[in-house]
Amino acid sequence: MLAHTIEEVREKRQEWKGLKIGLVPTMGALHEGHLSLIKKAKEVCDKVVVSVFVNPIQFGPSEDYDKYPRTLDKDYELCTKEGVDLVFAPSPSCMYPEGNGKLSNDTLTYVCPPFFYVNKLCGKTRVGHFDGVCTVVLKLFNIVQPDLGFFGQKDAQQVIIIKKMVRDLNVPVKIVQCPIVREESGLALSSRNKYLSEEGKKEALVLSRILNNIKACYNKGITDVAALKETAYGFLTDKHDMEYLEILDRNTLEEKSKADKDSIVLIACRVEGVRLIDNIYLGEG
Ligand code: AMP
Which of 42, 47, 48, 52 has its CA nearest to residue 73?
52
Q: Residue 50: which region, alpha, beta or left (left: phi > 0; alpha: psi -120 to 50)? A: beta
State whether the beta carbon of 160 lies less than 6 angstroms from ligand 1. no
Ligand 1 atom with least separation from CA of 189: 19
- The protein residue with its alpha carbon nearest to ligand 1, atom 18, reads 33
State whether the beta carbon of 190 lies less than 6 angstroms from ligand 1. yes
Do the bridges between strand 263-271 and strand 240-249 make them parallel or antiparallel, or are there none, so unpaired? Answer: antiparallel
Residue 108: predicted pLDDT: 75
Q: Which amino acid is at 12?
A: K
Q: Which of 79-83, 98-102, 179-183 has the lowest mean pLDDT?
A: 98-102
Report the percent of the chain where pLDDT is more than 90: 94
Which of 274, 282, 284, 280 has its CA nearest to residue 154?
280
Cα of 33 vs centre of ligand 1, distance in Å, is 6
Residue 235: predicted pLDDT: 98
State whether the beta carbon of 155 lies less than 6 angstroms from ligand 1. yes
Query: Which residues are catalytic, by number?
Result: 34
The confidence band for 98, taking pLDDT boundaries of 50, 70 and 90, is confident
Which part of the chain has CATH 3.40.50.620?
A: 2-178
The 10s digit of each residue's pLDDT in 34-53 is 999 999 999 999 999 999 99
Q: Which amino acid is at 180?
A: I
State whether the beta carbon of 211 lies less than 6 angstroms from ligand 1. no
> If you average pLDDT over residues 127-148, what whole number do you get?
97
Q: Does the 191-280 domain belong in CATH 3.30.1300.10?
A: yes
Best of 32, 37, 160, 278 to mutate for ligand 1, by most ligand atoms within 8 A of CB? Answer: 37
The yes-or-no verdict on residue 105 having pLDDT over 80 is: no
State whether the beta carbon of 187 lies less than 6 angstroms from ligand 1. no
The yes-or-no verdict on residue 104 having pLDDT over 90 is: no
Q: Which amino acid is at 113?
A: P
What's the mean per-residue pLDDT of the chain? 96
The yes-or-no verdict on residue 102 having pLDDT over 90 is: no
The 10s digit of each residue's pLDDT in 56-87 is 999 999 999 999 999 999 999 999 999 999 99
The yes-or-no verdict on residue 13 having pLDDT over 80 is: yes
| CA–CA gap between residue 195 and residue 61 (Å, rounded) | 19
Neighbours of 57 (CB within 10 A): 21
> If you average pLDDT over residues 141-166, what whole number do you get?
98
pTM confidence score:
0.97
Residue 163 and residue 138 in contact, taking contact as beta carbons nearer than 8 Å: no
Residue 106: predicted pLDDT: 78
Cα of 6 vs centre of ligand 1, distance in Å, is 23
Q: Which CATH class is domain 2-178?
A: alpha beta
The 10s digit of each residue's pLDDT in 106-125 is 777 899 999 899 999 999 99
Residue 224: predicted pLDDT: 98
- The protein residue with its alpha carbon nearest to ligand 1, atom 14, reads 152
The 10s digit of each residue's pLDDT in 207-258 is 999 999 999 999 999 999 999 999 999 999 999 999 999 999 999 999 999 9
The confidence band for 23, taking pLDDT boundaries of 50, 70 and 90, is very high
Which part of the chain has CATH 3.30.1300.10?
A: 191-280
Cα of 222 vs centre of ligand 1, distance in Å, is 31
| CA–CA gap between residue 80 and residue 33 (Å, rounded) | 16
Report the percent of the chain where pLDDT is more than 70: 100
Q: Give one DSSP letter per residue of 232-277, joined into a string.
A: GGGG--TTEEEEEEEEEETTT--B-SB--TTEEEEEEEEETTEEEE
| CA–CA gap between residue 88 and residue 161 (Å, rounded) | 23
First-to-final CA distance of the chain: 35
State whether the beta carbon of 189 lies less than 6 angstroms from ligand 1. yes
Cα of 178 vs centre of ligand 1, distance in Å, is 9
